[in-house]
Amino acid sequence: MLNVTLIGFGAIGRSICARLQGSASVRVTHVVVRSQRLAEVQMALNQLALDQMSGAVAAAQAVTEVPADASLVLECAGHEALASHVAPALARGTECAVLSVGALAEPGLPERLADAATQGGTQVHLLSGAIGGIEALAAARLAGLDEVTYTGRKPPSSWAPAATASTTENVPFSEGKQAVALVPHAQTAIILEASAREAARLYPKNANVAATIALAGLGLDATQVRLISDPNVTQNVHEIYAKGAFGEMKIEMRGKPLADNPKTSALTVLSALRFLNNRASSLTI
């Protein structure tokens, strides 16, 4: 049995816990949350255990810190958790997996996590989350990459913070420039063209995919990102283009949202489950 400590109990954390209840190979033993949520989360965890057919599944414990004896930590809480919980756990020698990869666009944070893992003699795993093709991109990097571009296409409502003015034209914006002239429900518009690091800074709630692609490929400053508001799409559309010594790669994904949180991709939860199942299995792919 693989015992897992989960950081966070939002839509992703709840879905992971629910899907793992009754698993014969993976068990969530603790869930790390803020102190003001302890009672609420413990009640939810108890109910998940009771909902099992047998009624014999032990409930995970809600805690405010990663237990000192934790063997594997899965983070799904957001960017702040990497500094407050993941880095200290790594330094103690606890293996960690991270879903909030966008946080690593912060200068120095990837190195801080790597140093903590080295200090603890363990590893930190950056999970692919809502995007596919990451293993192929990382493999292609070994031969040398010349270009990697990520295009994110979402409905206008997903880009609400940038949709503040009244032009009806499609306006491309130069590198590092955020759109200020965009009709939310009129026409397709490029709202940002920038490096992955700049895209993560300007759109932190949409940073995970761009940062994951960048860290697998050319890095945060050399990976180009284009964000598009498109009233003709109802799903989040992710496109990767890469070329180099390996050849050329084009990937398009249209992800369905998590049932209880339309802003989160269902594939994010599934990528975490795949990682945990692989850690518990003798045959992995």
> Which alpha helices (H) appear in 76-220, and where do they start and end?
80-81, 87-91, 109-120, 134-141, 196-202, 207-216
Chain centroid to CA 96? 14
| Sole residue written with tokens 């809502």 | 130
Q: Are the CB atoms for 95 and 113 separated by under 8 Å?
A: no
Give the residues across from 229 on adjacent strands.
154, 189
Q: Which two tokens stand for residue 23?
A: 């698993």
Active site residue ranges = 238
Closest C-alpha among 189, 194, 207 to residue 101 = 207
Looking at residue 89, its amino acid is A
How many CB atoms are located within 10 Å of the residue 100 CB? 25
Q: Is 160 helix (H, G, I), strand (E, B) or coil?
A: helix
Q: How far apart are CA 18 and CA 11, in angstroms?
A: 11
Pairing, β 261-265 against β 257-258 = antiparallel
Q: Are the CB atoms for 192 and 225 separated by under 8 Å?
A: yes
State which H helix or E strand residue 250 sits in. Answer: strand 247-255
Q: Are the CB atoms for 274 and 267 separated by under 8 Å?
A: no
> Which alpha helices (H) appear in the chain, and where do they start and end?
11-20, 38-50, 80-81, 87-91, 109-120, 134-141, 196-202, 207-216, 266-280
